[in-house]
Structure 1
Amino acid sequence: MDNKLMLMIPGPTPVPENVLLAMAKHPIGHRSGDFSTIMAEVTENLKWLHQTQNDLLILAASGTGAMEAGIINFLSPGDRVLVGCNGKFGERWAEVCDAYGLKTEKITAEWGKPLDPEQFRAALEADTTKTIKAVIITHSETSTGVLNDLATINHYVKAHGEALIIVDTVTSLGAVNIPTDELGLDVVASGSQKGYMIPPGLSFVAVSAKAWQAYATAKLPRFYFDLGKYKKDAAKNTTPFTPAINLIFALQASLQMMKAEGLENIFARHQRLTQATRSAVKAMGLPLLAADENASAAITAVMPDQVDAEKIRSVMKKRFDIVLAGGQDSLKGKIFRIGHLGFVSDRDILAAIASLEATLQELGYENFALGAGVAAAAKVIATL
């Protein structure tokens, strides 16, 4: 049957019908008063979601664009930066830093393991001359399904006093609690096709007063991603360059949905879906890549040892029109990833787990009792 495709990947994530309908409206002039009114509402609701009163800037770009903007606006050539690398996206930020001539120092962990905050503490405490200008980390590393300990790492950055903390929250913003102002985060970057429940094309950067102080002396080249231009125009509820107008319409609708659900309910739903998925996978006898205490709320990475991960993905797509994500780089062909981010419900998880059970049965995997996964997921859903 056509048009029954079910996305269970970390992005793009499913889009609600009313958000799609909002996108179908005729564009309006992006310099008009009507559009400025929409921008004002959207910006205020974005600040609500980020739990911040800092500047909240909207870019027509992917999450990578937001992170690149977050790096190049506040640093200068040769600046020393610490970059947490325990997956594909941490490695990407190190590559961006290298591309701009920064002195990049990686703090690494094995893929599937969380970053060790004590390694950051040791490096920051040893920097008595305050040469470290920024610490850059990925909060939710979706290549492996690991949630890094942002609060503890941030605590050590704050104790250092000089360094900025720049955070990729692309797949954690809108899924877990990130109190930007309470933590004192300096740069928070995210992307639209994740927890925001809209298609790709927008990204967001929250910027602290401390970061703006660094901006005043930063010397890396920038033009389209010059956040000073966005700050100036945001004060007038507009943008320095042509925005993705219909995506702003979509964002207006999705943020209204999120406010109606409420932050605590959003976080609780993602936690419930994460636990339900992980419990189901365990009940089917399939190994998980990340430990429970470091599990991402966006994705569950599964490393099957008795059945081929790519065959599982293939059957799920062909038989049930359910798309699961594969592994990346060194994990390619070794894992599959089940997304539960954004516009995902209890019913979606139960349907995906039931389909996964049928897939495993078709592939001859017998290391579980049929129905065990659904029962485990249902139990979590009934109690959380």
Structure 2
Amino acid sequence: MIPGPTPVPEKVLQALSKHPIGHRSKEFQELVEITTKNLQWLHQTQNDILTITGSGTAAMEAGIINTLSKGDKVICGENGKFGERWVKVAKTFGLEVIKINSEWGTALNPDEFKKILEEDKQKEIKAVILTHSETSTGVINDLKTISSYIKEHKKALSIVDCVTSLGACNVPIDEWQLDIVASGSQKGYMIPPGLSFISMSEKAWAATEESNLPKFYLDLKSYKKSLLSNSNPYTPAVNLFFALDEALKMMRDEGLENIFLRHNRHKLAMSTAMKALNLKLFADENYLSPSITAIKTGEMDAEEFRKLIKSKFDILLAGGQDHLKGKIFRVGHLGYVNDRDIITVISAISYVLLELGKITTQQAGDALMLATNCLESK
């Protein structure tokens, strides 16, 4: 129950076990064609969706280095570990970074983006880089509003980390006119790590003509060219394409709306149950991510608590990162997670809290009852 790698369905595991095929074969080209179409369905876009053998960080770095040049001015939203990462990446490539900060556990303020973008009369800002669902804190940022301000600026590109939001909540790329959207296979896609996906708008492709940052393996023009023949510029992770095909078929069968509703129910069940167990949520309740719930442990050491859950129930929870280590634990509920999994992890947490004398049996029962009510709601 961590926010990635997420549980993998049996059908997907079976697909992984197929014998590899040649990545220049007709069979593989057919596989690329169907997975690309299904990726466009999931991303709700007609944009090019490129598949890179690499993690979500590879897709984000590719988005940055293919559309920007050394010395370009960019805005980076930073309200967690991954927001921090994009600041580091931008600075590594010599970009001039304007940071918009928010305390970990709180959402980025869209008005701050609006103010800076409106004041940029010379249109010097080339991109706005931010994380949609901040995995380290359980916060989801208001991407819809922020993207509307980027759109009004006209010049700046939106470069968005949707690694733990795509496949878990609504990210209508074409409707919100998002330029560059990155995600990774081991999250909402329900397959093992190793593939990343990047959506590129026409505006983003136009920006690639002016970019002078160094790139080779992550040169997206080569991926676009090869996609014309349903291929890949380098040797891809063939068996992960088998897995991707199966996972996307399962997602299409469930339907986008049902996927989003399921993740929302799980978010509500987890957050409601944790409060009933006298645990405080780390994230602002108005901006809870549908993918992960971060929970404060107060005087309890979160790392010791995680060890107890693992030893007694063989359930792995995620810990806090950086200064949050030992202060919070995080429950992932994205991808191939069902109601039974949610009830199981709430029961395990309740059991350990009971053993530690932190709650009563009545509170444990209340938590399960409230969670069940959330899961039964439509």
TM-score, normalised with respect to structure 1: 0.97
2:365 and 2:7 map into 1 onto residues whose CA distance is 26
Tell me the alpha carbon deviations over residues 210-269 of structure 1, each in whole angstroms, 9 at most, x when there is no partner: 001100111000000000000000111000000000000000000000000000000000
Whether the aligned pair in 2 keeps the contact of 1:286 and 1:304 (CA below 8 Å) is yes
Whether the aligned pair in 2 keeps the contact of 1:306 and 1:365 (CA below 8 Å) is no
Query: Are 2:76 and 1:74 equivalent residues in the alignment?
Result: no
DSSP-derived class of the 1:118 partner = helix
Aligned-residue CA RMSD in angstroms? 0.8
1:34 and 1:369 map into 2 onto residues whose CA distance is 56
Matches within 5 A, 1:277-296: 277-296=270-289
Query: Are 2:51 and 1:46 equivalent residues in the alignment?
Result: no
DSSP-derived class of the 1:75 partner = coil
Instruction: Specify which of 289, 312, 321 is matched with residue 319 of structure 1.
Output: 312
Matches within 5 A, 1:1-384: 8-366=1-359, 369-384=363-378
1:207 and 1:138 map into 2 onto residues whose CA distance is 17
Whether the aligned pair in 1 keeps the contact of 2:302 and 2:325 (CA below 8 Å) is no
Whether the aligned pair in 2 keeps the contact of 1:354 and 1:371 (CA below 8 Å) is no
2:363 and 2:146 map into 1 onto residues whose CA distance is 42
- 1:54 CA drift (Å): 0.5
1:382 and 1:89 map into 2 onto residues whose CA distance is 33
- 1:291 maps to a residue whose letter is D
1:11 and 1:145 map into 2 onto residues whose CA distance is 13
- 1:371 CA drift (Å): 1.6
DSSP-derived class of the 1:14 partner = coil
1:308 and 1:362 map into 2 onto residues whose CA distance is 15
DSSP-derived class of the 2:8 partner = coil
1:369 and 1:259 map into 2 onto residues whose CA distance is 39
For structure 2, the residue ranges without an aligned partner over 5 or more in a row are none
1:369 and 1:35 map into 2 onto residues whose CA distance is 54
DSSP-derived class of the 2:33 partner = helix
- 1:102 maps to a residue whose letter is L
Whether the aligned pair in 1 keeps the contact of 2:132 and 2:140 (CA below 8 Å) is yes
TM-score, normalised with respect to structure 2: 0.99
- 1:370 CA drift (Å): 2.7
- 1:81 CA drift (Å): 0.3
- 1:306 CA drift (Å): 4.0
- 1:366 CA drift (Å): 2.5
- 1:155 maps to a residue whose letter is S
1:75 and 1:25 map into 2 onto residues whose CA distance is 40
Tell me the alpha carbon deviations over residues 7-61 of structure 1, each in whole angstroms, 9 at most, x when there is no partner: x000000000010000000000000000000110000000000000100000000
1:381 and 1:219 map into 2 onto residues whose CA distance is 50
- 1:376 CA drift (Å): 1.2
- 1:383 CA drift (Å): 2.0
Whether the aligned pair in 2 keeps the contact of 1:274 and 1:340 (CA below 8 Å) is yes
Tell me the alpha carbon deviations over residues 347-382 of structure 1, each in whole angstroms, 9 at most, x when there is no partner: 100011001100111222126623222111111112
Whether the aligned pair in 2 keeps the contact of 1:79 and 1:132 (CA below 8 Å) is yes
1:199 and 1:302 map into 2 onto residues whose CA distance is 26
2:269 and 2:206 map into 1 onto residues whose CA distance is 44
- 1:291 CA drift (Å): 2.2
For structure 1, the residue ranges without an aligned partner over 5 or more in a row are 1-7
Runs of 4 or more off by more than 4 Å in structure 1?
none
1:43 and 1:133 map into 2 onto residues whose CA distance is 28
Whether the aligned pair in 1 keeps the contact of 2:306 and 2:329 (CA below 8 Å) is yes
2:3 and 2:227 map into 1 onto residues whose CA distance is 29
Q: What is the aligned length?
A: 377
- 1:64 CA drift (Å): 0.5
Whether the aligned pair in 2 keeps the contact of 1:144 and 1:290 (CA below 8 Å) is yes
Equivalence for 1:4: none
1:271 and 1:366 map into 2 onto residues whose CA distance is 26
Whether the aligned pair in 2 keeps the contact of 1:307 and 1:363 (CA below 8 Å) is no
DSSP-derived class of the 2:76 partner = strand
- 1:380 maps to a residue whose letter is C
- 1:250 maps to a residue whose letter is A
Identity %: 57
